[in-house]
Structure 1
């Protein structure tokens, strides 16, 4: 279940008559627990509660229903219960049907409310559904509740009005929803004259069956598009009950006033939505959640589209806000310096070219208004209005509805800031009518001219929009000057790996990179945004920072894209190392991202950890986000480190003929007992890691001639021949005459074999390498070490090797992706003595022996970070200590320090190779006659 579904279920539960016997199970069901789980609890089989009328769900909650007035005592009993501790309950909860109290045991945080009001605290309880609670949702659940109400209304209206779901009418439907959001907010904040005016009018003037609700809403919307002075002459005249609504316009209520038809249920949903306290709406997060309402694909993830304020501040703080706060601190109470800072802020523009529903822009605006308010406080000018234009916060959004919501979110943010810093009276006096200027553009950011939408000096085309909420795509400029202002580009553009891009997105990338980058087809889509921002920097003094997947700072994309980006004075000005960009999805771990900021000749270069806390100022950050000079690691065919090669496995290209399970292997051995040696253990991509294995035919040509008359073997050879004969690949067809053999063979079959998976879970602290039984054959889904010295194995399984693989090889989603040519062949080691090699050999032996002690545990089980055996962990830690002391005489402090050293060694080697003089041709002596 998602957050919106949970809120709805909890709200429904609070409205039902209280049933003391049924409540614990209904409560657990509201948080997504399965019927089978509840059934076992009901029968008492899994209920280990030792409190009267208690129900205990392990690793979750211990709750109890009690007699009237005994809630506090019951909560104490639950807290003191040995069963609570033994079952590792995260929460305790007690209720008597009148009041409800709960406590999160880890933090000690509590809630206490009337029973009817406990849905307002559902955010506190979201961890019960496996959803990490976010402070904004905990403190203010209105955003999730409003999203749920609007979604129900939206779905019901589309069911009744299918034409409004078509491409031709979808924008009308979305515009209608934006109008409703504004009305709900306006009636709760005194923007409308009278609290609840909108909802009460709809309730009083529309029929209970919803038959004329669309007509009532249409008249209300029409009223807000007519100036009060003109209403007397307006034809047809407004009904008296609509005259109480103010003139709003600004494009929000201009144009058609057509409204979709309502059912009884749709009218009920509208009234329920209006009953919420919209005054408390947080535009920081509301927009990103509500945008899913209007998207068929995203509606299944409703309530999850939430970008936390702390994560956004990891971008905005180092990009702009830290500098402004420093300037504020330095200004102190100096009125002249404070005035200069206020004027500077009035000329700053923040531009998000993939703004969605405006989260980054809203938070930047609110943070800057907070700084401005402090300036006014110090200058004794709290009465002043803001000098920061809302139109300085510009964006581009591909989809229509998020574009409207972004504008609306900014308008709400401006009003809320005015109320906070100037008071309700002044805020209301200047709020209406809305301004018709357009500053959020709906269009394709990779096709639009950013310099036109956010010009560096305020010059250029100056068009004033007639309709704020329905502007043409070429609307690009605001009628005001901004000479000398600063521009900051930021956001969280779409990631989309090369294989995930649709034809339109591929076309976008081609238009941007064209012939300049012949390898652009392998680029992530987000690099199009980096390239557009880099172009922007060529034409004006600006800075930019994007949230991005780690993939653009790993693997081949680094040396293919970044050398031209970090050039001509443009450098990485700050970086935030990898962290989870999570949302409100249940059990969702989030995607691993980093933040990269660039500027021309930055005054300072700062390196941040994953929490956004500054680690240190550095001289340079390279494209791998390592505090070291610019280095680009390229593929090497062979190891440049003196170690044994790691090679790809063997490719069968067999149509299933050469690979089979144990039962087939047994049948083949029985069919030709004298040739049992051609049946070998076979390990594919995941087999060895998870303790599985198959078998294969590994035969030489004489074996084939002897076995092709054995029917069981001939059937399998025929399968191979048929597949290869039907293939369109010349290399595969070439193997038609040898159906007994793998297409690509990279081992003899008698080696000592260590298999290396192509991919490994990001949660593992060490990259696994698996010792296989004698005679094993490795498939091409994995890599192999053949007869390696054990000290090579020790180096491979080290933390140093893992972080190098993560940095230069790239990842698949969030998992490690190994590359022999890019990772192992380029990994650098210091010059080793024979004693060093002996010490590392012993370390490798200890690791293998530690594994053997836990047979038959699989590699996946042994390297689970939550259950890794102590002796195996100690063996790895000893290996790391021995190896790292060879590098620097001690353990490295962290992975950043490890990478700095590895890049240093790589740089020295490659620089030395480039510096070697070319070999001179030997000239032969001229023979004399």
Structure 2
């Protein structure tokens, strides 16, 4: 709706409700009518909830009149005869005003659902309370004045998500159409594999997309002008028609051939360097291409409805051979982009605009709105891994929407506006670095489309015609390797406000040599760089760039940079060398690529700077947000502790070591069938065959065996040919190694390469275990079961050691500090076990722990047919085992001084970090 339509809708709403207002009968109809007919919510029944039940502190059930979760608005509705400033008697005998009543409800809600706004209403007036300023006077809007003050209630509406789903579908469809055109075009080129050909076809497709959009958006003037022009040409002459069109779009009207064909002459000058390059190779067009362009692209599809944020990325992946081989289209969802930009700056800007709307004097509102618009026009953004520009595009759209809201506030029906200088948010505020030249072209085009769409919105607000074309040349997105560039050459850091983006995801072990060298160049002589993911290069560059500035940053990253050995390497460097603080963070969540054949990547989002936010936030999930005093490198509200590799434990506990490593090329390992065959033919071989267990075998109950040969057995095996053959292959395998130590092992080819098998029963801890298990299934094995190096073992471990290691206290520590293999837990002695702070146990505590340990082991024995994988599957975990673990958890928590009723996992880890700090003060 434009301003006139909104005012008319508000006036009609007032006329409908001027003399109505029964609290019981009319409340829901009143709010549904307001949301749908004044504020444009298509399905208000799904948008607002009524009568949500809550439990108050006295354990009594109350009901919230209305709650809008998307905008965090709580509504307390009263009848027409109620004074909103007077107290009303409650069931407990107290007198509360409607606002005080709403505050009581708010206090009973989870933090993530507590309202940003409270509105009390009696059908005649709205009292609007800003909970960022809980002691301030409310803004009051009378129903009769809603026509002129509708904007004060716009916090009811979540504008960010309007039409996103529709735009997404249209954008994907557009990508599919361009994909068909691309495939058919490529067949026409004489050298389709030539890199120059690929550059030409990509540039050609960018130009076609802009033309399709410009026609449907009205930028070319008359609707259908492109179709009318191209339809006059047969396939044989289509190429020349396209070339002529591009030339005209790149030529100013006063510089064109005066005898130019009239149809061509009607096209405007576009500029922006989009059509400047005349050297791109354009092939001949066949009938299929002509049909695709005319019927599917031009006349049969409305390009003006695409989302430039999504389409830019879809377009890039459509025309990128590598991404197409991966299975189709990739894009970052708008929702995920807002996880970065909302807490970084957009939430604050929205709040600032909403606060302006609550001022009572119209002159003050107009003045502050103009100041706010000027501020929007001064902000500058950099995406140093810009890709197809989706983060920059969505940020531009978000700022322009806020700007349009500000314009509405100072524009009156008959006011004269400086139309030429009205729009202050410009594309030249947005900077990017991208290594792929084609992605740079796509990013620029996406931003031009975004600019055009917002231009139309502004025109609809002010009822004036403004000229959009020609485009301004846009050179702020540059091609280059971000990790090798000086960012100051792109933008002076003194002018920059925010750095945003989604840098490349490449694991530490998957980087190319060039990428590894790039990280070394960024971090200099920092030890352990080879253990860092590629994405940290952007953290390092950003920290160096923003040094001694107020610039704030937020990146999407692989979650492994907040786990295991990467934390003490990366975050210690950033926090101690550059005084970096984390101001907000999203803990691990799935970041879907939206490819057809997609694999979920486990990501975090981290907002950081040298400037410390007053309110730090940890987004635990979509629904749960926690306030934090300090966010450390593990994304916990805890001190800046760095859990580093440690060779020995900080507590007096038995040593944890790897199991034995064969280093045999697989020749000392036997399947059950091979074992049976060997014993059948050589019964004496049974003496040197033992059960062999790694993490997978132990957890899933898989049988595997090994040849465990000691010097005393050499005479026995000398006459067993199959074993001797295997030993011979072991020797060859070791001699062929490039490692000198392995070659030395060839002298004893009958034995494992590294032997650490204990002479007593031992505790086994799988090195890798599924993240879906609440507990890593650890246990005891007999000394005759050989543990592989895929597990960790603790010889001489007591039952009370088992109890603590199996507890939720230790598991919460493990989940925080352990590394990951994909998303699975990767337990290590040097990081997890050796750094875990053990309590000094009394004999009585050891006794109690031994009992809870026995109960866990006995509960497992009740189900001999189930593997540990089944026993620890959260969906089918036997009740006896669950209870045994819960009893053990409660005991360990009490021993560690944790209140069982209220301690969350993050609280437990925070306490453990404090213990760790205390215990390691005097340890070098």
**TM-score > 0.5 by shorter chain:** yes
Match of 2:714 among 688, 704, 708: 704
Aligned to 2:297: 273
Matches within 5 A, 1:17-416: 136-137=164-165, 140-163=168-191, 165-202=193-230, 204-207=231-234, 210-233=235-258, 238-256=260-278, 258-271=281-294, 272-274=296-298, 275-301=300-326, 304-331=329-356, 332-333=358-359, 334-335=364-365, 336-380=367-411, 385-416=422-453
Where 1:163 maps in the other structure, the secondary structure is coil
Question: Could you tell me which residue of structure 2 aligns to residue 878 of structure 1?
Answer: 887
Contact map agreement 1:548 1:595 (CA 8 A) in 2: yes
Partner of 2:459: 422
CA distance in 2 between counterparts of 1:164 and 1:716 reads 52
Cα distance between partner residues in 2 of 1:548 and 1:659: 40
Instruction: Describe the superposition over 1:557-597 as per-residue Cα deviations: whole angstroms up to 9, x where unpaired.
Output: 22222223113543122222111111324585621111111
Change (3 A) 1:558 1:902: same
- Relative to structure 2, which stretch is displaced further, 707-716 or 184-193? 707-716
The residue correspondences of 1:540-689 to structure 2 (distance < 5 A) are: 540-567=549-576, 568-585=578-595, 588=598, 590-611=600-621, 615-670=625-680, 672-674=682-684, 676-689=686-699
Alpha-carbon separation, structure 1, partners of 2:782 and 2:165:
54
Q: 2: CA distance between counterparts of 1:224 and 1:752?
A: 82
CA RMSD, 1 decimal: 2.6
SS of residue in 1 equivalent to 2:191: helix
- Normalized against structure 2, the TM-score is what? 0.77
In 2, Cα distance between the equivalents of 1:849 and 1:376? 72
Is the Cα contact below 8 Å between 2:201 and 2:281 reproduced in 1?
A: no
Equivalent runs, 1:525-924 vs 2, <5 Å: 525-538=534-547, 540-567=549-576, 568-585=578-595, 588=598, 590-611=600-621, 615-670=625-680, 672-674=682-684, 676-748=686-758, 750-772=759-781, 775-887=784-896, 888-891=898-901, 893-913=903-923
Cα distance per residue 1:314-372 (max 9 Å; x no partner): 11112111222233344443344433332222111011111111111111112222222
Q: Given that residues 167 and 305 in structure 2 are in contact (C-alpha distance below 8 angstroms), is that contact kept between their aligned partners in structure 1?
A: no
SS in 1 for 2:692: strand
TM-score w.r.t. length of structure 1: 0.76
Q: How far apart, CA to CA, are the structure 2 residues paired with 1:425 and 1:301?
A: 46
CA distance in 1, matches of 2:190, 2:895: 71
Give, in whole Å, the separation in 1 of the partners of 2:535 and 2:189.
Answer: 37
Q: Is the 8 A contact 2:650 2:920 kept in 1?
A: no
Residue-pair matches, total: 747
- Tell me if the contact between 1:607 and 1:627 (Cα under 8 Å) persists in the aligned partners: no
Instruction: Give the match for residue 450 of structure 1.
Output: 487
Q: Partners of 2:781 and 2:229 in 1: how far apart?
A: 76
Please report how far the alpha carbon of residue 519 of structure 1 lies from its aligned counterpart in structure 2 after TM superposition.
Answer: 2.9
Q: How does 1:474-553 map to 2 (within 5 A)?
A: 486-514=496-524, 516-538=525-547, 540-553=549-562
- Distance (whole Å) between structure 1 residues aligned to residue 902 and residue 681 of structure 2: 58
Report the alpha carbon displacement of residue 783 of structure 1 after superposing the two structures with TM. 1.7
Q: Counterpart in 1 of 2:155?
A: none
Structure 1 residue matching 2:236: 3-state secondary structure: coil
Distance 1:670 1:614 in 2: 61
Aligned partners of 1:501 and 1:366: how far apart in 2? 35
Unaligned segments of structure 1, at least 5 residues = 1-132, 458-484, 915-929
Q: Deviations over 1:75-121 (max 9, x none)?
A: xxxxxxxxxxxxxxxxxxxxxxxxxxxxxxxxxxxxxxxxxxxxxxx
- Given the superposition, is the C-alpha separation of residues 442 and 452 from structure 1 closer, same or farther in structure 2, using an over 3 Å criterion? same
Deviates more, 1:154-163 or 1:771-780: 771-780
Partner of 1:298, secondary structure, is helix
Deviation at 1:809, TM superposition (A): 2.3
Contact 2:548/2:610 (CA < 8 Å) preserved in 1? Answer: no
Provide the rounded CA distance (Å) in 2 between the counterparts of 1:393 and 1:139: 23
Q: Per-residue displacement from partner, 1:203-262 (whole Å, max 9, x unpaired)? A: x2232xx333222211211121122223234xxx54333222111122111221752222
1:632 partner SS: coil
More deviation, 541-550/504-513: 504-513
Inter-CA distance 587–401: structure 2 relative to 1 (3 Å threshold): closer
| Residues 903-929 of structure 1 deviation map (CA, whole Å, 9 limit, x = unaligned) | 111111112546xxxxxxxxxxxxxxx
The 1:772/1:414 distance shift into structure 2, 3 A limit, reads: same
What secondary structure, in the 3-state scheme, does the structure 1 residue paired with 2:433 have?
strand
Q: Please tell me whether the aligned partners of residues 624 and 808 of structure 1 are also in contact (alpha carbons under 8 angstroms).
A: yes
CA pair 162-901 structure 1, distance change in 2 beyond 3 A = farther
Q: Is the 8 A contact 1:547 1:593 kept in 2?
A: yes
- Cα gap change, 1:647 to 1:156, in 2 (>3 Å): same
Cα contact 2:527–2:569 (8 A) shared by 1: no
CA 1:373 to 1:410, structure 2 compared with 1: closer, same or farther past 3 Å? same
Cα distance in 1 for partners of 2:582, 2:914 equals 19
Instruction: State how far apart, in whole Å, the 2-side matches of 1:428 and 1:867 are.
Output: 66
Relative distance call for 1:808 and 1:756 in structure 2 (3 A) is same
Cα deviation, residue 491, structure 1: 0.5
Cα pair 2:779 2:802 within 8 Å, conserved: no
Between 1:262-271 and 1:767-776, the stretch displaced more is 767-776
Q: Report the CA distance between 1:649 and its aligned residue.
A: 1.0
In the TM superposition, what whole-angstrom CA distance separates every residue of 1:855-903 from its partner, at most 9, and x where no partner exists? 3222223333333334333333332222222221315543322221221
Contact in 2 for aligned 1:347/1:486 (Cα 8 Å): no
Q: What residue ranges of structure 2 are gaps of 5+ in the alignment?
A: 1-160
Distance (Å, rounded) in 2 between the aligned partners of 1:644 and 1:587: 47
Q: Name the stretch that deviates more: 838-847 or 280-289.
A: 838-847
C-alpha distance 717-905 of structure 1, shift in aligned 2 (>3 A): same
CA change 1:300–1:876 in 2 (3 A) is: farther
2:749 and 2:308 mapped to 1: Cα distance?
65
Q: 1:898 to 1:588 in 2, by over 3 A?
A: farther
CA distance in structure 2 between the aligned counterparts of 1:786 and 1:381, rounded to whole angstroms: 81
Between the aligned partners of 2:706 and 2:731, the Cα distance in structure 1 is: 16
Q: Is the Cα–Cα contact under 8 Å of residues 418 and 427 in structure 1 kept in the other structure?
A: no
Q: CA deviation at 1:612?
A: 5.6
Q: Evaluate the alpha carbon distance shift between residue 736 and residue 393 of structure 1 in structure 2; reply closer, same or farther with a 3 A threshold.
A: same
Task: Measure the CA separation in 2 of the matches of 1:405 and 1:751.
Answer: 65
